[in-house]
Amino acid sequence: MNAINHEIRLAARPGGLPARSDWELTTEPVPAPGPGEFVVAVSYLSIDPAMRRWIDADYREPVAIGTVMETGAAGRVIASEHPGFAVGEHVYGGFGVQEYTRSDGTGVTKLAGWLREGRLVSREDILAGGVRAFPDALPKLFAGQNTGKLIVVVQ
């Protein structure tokens, strides 16, 4: 396993379209699961217009400067101390813009049934480049330069 977790953190609140300078790429150790937790290797990040509202939110706490940018993400469980999540399971949750995350399972959806039933089909633009591609993806979304869902491939 890669011992480094690359994360994108909000560095500044954008005044207009988000720019690369509004984000900071940081590295942290890959987390280990504690009791009742599991670790997810993130495979796909969802890039959504709602992210802009989360940055400047007036209806909830906005994403704090210096914290990992929030987003939905899909990935695979790589370590688990949680009785309800096994290593190898594919999951979706609010994991943020990072390569690995630790979760207690709150708000996490198992995707095995969705994959079997073919329910994960959509029209999408896919960007490679991992979390490092995120600072370029959000302005593309806000400028209307994507078709359907905009996804960043992490691993």
* Environment class of 42 (CB within 10 Å of its CB; exposed 0-12, middle 13-18, buried 19+): buried
Amino acid at 12: A
pTM (whole model) above 0.75: yes
Give the C-alpha distances (Å, rounded to integers) separating 132 from 26, 50, 76, 112. Answer: 10, 20, 20, 28
pLDDT along the chain (155 residues), means of 10: 87 90 96 98 89 87 95 96 96 96 96 74 72 82 72 80
Looking at the domain covering 4-153, what would its CATH class be?
Answer: alpha beta
